Structure formats: structure tokens, C-alpha cells
Structure 1
Amino acid sequence: MKKPRLWYVIADGGRARFVERDDQGAFRTLSSFVSTELHKSAHELGRDRPARVKESASPARSAIEPRRDLHEAAKEDFIRTVAETLAAELKDQKFDELVLVAPPGVIAELKGSLSKPTAKVVVKELHKDLTKVPDHELTGHLAPKQ
């Protein structure tokens, strides 16, 4: 029987990479993503001042609270893009099993964004931020699959 092909998804709110272990046990990055909005300020992402509303009974104007934080929205969009890419890669049979490695909040968002077939192949979750750890140092952080 063929050994299942295992991918590690190492992500945070603005960076992600897909990593696999080769036959010698070394990790290598297959592809990586960096959000284009990662280092942008709020005014670069959209309106930095909230919209205004006039009161009908007086000349006063009040600010409207934004529906969602622009940085949070950019993070959610990025996580959704990573999940869609994983779904496409699974459809192309690039991997058989998946390990999610991300901070707890990002893992929750990523799991919520995964398609049902992709969610079924998740075998493990690690609540760590390893996005800036180079491939040759991942062995100490990622225990071999049980």
C-alpha cells in the first residue's frame, strides 16, 4: 500500500506555506503566500475615518461604527484564499493528509474556511506560530506523525 502524502500548512494571519517532508526526513517548502495587505495601514486598506450620519432633528453629525475591522477583514480574506488553494490542491491529489500549524485563532478560522473534503483529511493540529521558522529548523518543532 502506498504511503499517504502528508502536507503541513504553516500559517498566521498574513503568511502561509505548504511544507512536506522528503524521504530523508527533511522539510521543504512547496509553496508560500504572503498577504498583500499584511503591512498596510488602515487608511491604505480603506476609509480610515468612519462615515457620518446627520440627525434629522438637529444639525449634529455622528460617526457610524465600521461593520468590521479592516485588518481583521484582510486576515479573513487571506485565510479563505489559503483554504481555497488547499481545496484545489486536494482535488489535484497533491496530498492525502494535512496537518494544520497556526496560532489558535488562525486555526479556528482556517478550519471554518476549509471545504468538507479538505477538512476530512486533517489529521492533526498544532497551535504554534512557525511561519518565520526556516525549513531546516522545523524538525525540532514538528514531531513525526504518530
Structure 2
Amino acid sequence: MPHYLRILIVVADGEHARFIRTKEDNALYTEVALNSSEAHKRSSDLGSDQPGASFHSGSSAHHGIAPEHDLHDLAKEKFARHVAHQINGAAKAETFDELVIAAPAHTLQAIRAALDSAASGRIIGTLAKDLVKTPDHELLPHLTEWVRPVDRSGH
């Protein structure tokens, strides 16, 4: 019996991710969907990253210090690391042979940075594009470079 390469397609942004597989008829379907609870919130609802006000001697004026980081951006990066952790787990469990990741450039970079060698060694392609809202049945034209029709008849 021939062995077919199992491909995992991860479509993500800073708030949502879908782990997509191919069916017997080569159609794509979402196997797992992940959503970030923090990334949906406004930065002000996530808390404050401000150290407070600065005081200058010789003056009674206080000046606010600009935050070091936008908490909303940090939540998106945390979610990207979570997605990478899920991919790493799937690679360790050997549930896929090849990996394609489609995400906006910043999210794609954060995911790739958090992948271990087992997962990153299976990457056959990346696409710096936000396809999260693209339905499964409309994804294939974006992925034809890496997702090839499979002849499951054994020929």
C-alpha cells in the first residue's frame, strides 16, 4: 500500500488559527480552530503597561511615560507562540509530514520563531497573507504551489 504525505496547513492571524487537512477527494477542511480570548480585547482592557508618571526635580510637573509595549500586540504574539506550540505537539506526535503556514508577515514570523526543529524541518511553504476569513473551499487557489492533488487510487 503506498504511503501518502500528510500535509498540515495552518492559517492564522493574531487572533484566530485553523489547522486544515485534505480529504479523500482532495477538498480542504478545518480540523481544529483556535481563538485567542485576549487578542479580541482592546489594549486598555488588557491592563496598563505604563510605569506611571515621571517627576522632574525643580518642577511640580508630572509627565506620563509612554508604554514600552502595546498590550494588544503582545497578546497577538502570545497567541502566535500558542499556535506554534500546537504545531510542535503535532510534529512530535507525527500527525503530519509536510507543513504550510499562511499568516500575515508579523504573525508568520512569530510562529516560525517559536517552532522547534521537528516542526520547522517539515515546512514546505509559507505565505505572508491573511487567509483566516477565507472559507475552506476557497483556500486551494492560494495554496496550489504546495497542496498537490493526491492520486489515492494507488497509481
- Measured in 1, the distance between the counterparts of 2:79 and 2:20 equals 18
- Measured in 1, the distance between the counterparts of 2:97 and 2:58 equals 63
The share of aligned pairs that are identical, in percent, is 37
Any residues of structure 2 matched to 1:125-140 within 5 Å, and which? 125-140=126-141
Cα shift at 1:38: 2.9
How many aligned positions are there?
146
Q: Alignment RMSD, CA only?
A: 1.8
Q: Deviations over 1:28-78 (max 9, x none)?
A: 111011111233122211128662122233322121221211111011000
Q: What is the match of residue 77 of structure 1? A: 78
SS in 2 for 1:8: strand
Cα shift at 1:4: 1.8
Any residues of structure 2 matched to 1:80-119 within 5 Å, and which? 80-119=81-120
- Measured in 1, the distance between the counterparts of 2:106 and 2:52 equals 29
Q: What is the match of residue 45 of structure 2? A: 44
Moved over 4 A (4+): none
Q: TM-score, normalised by structure 2?
A: 0.85
In structure 2, give the amino acid aligned to 1:122. I
Q: Which ranges of structure 2 fall in alignment gaps of 5 or more residues? A: 149-155
Q: TM-score, normalised by structure 1?
A: 0.90
SS in 2 for 1:16: strand
- Measured in 1, the distance between the counterparts of 2:110 and 2:49 equals 25
Q: Which ranges of structure 1 fall in alignment gaps of 5 or more residues? A: none
Whether contact under 8 Å (1:10, 1:131) holds in the other structure is yes
SS in 2 for 1:141: helix
SS in 1 for 2:8: strand
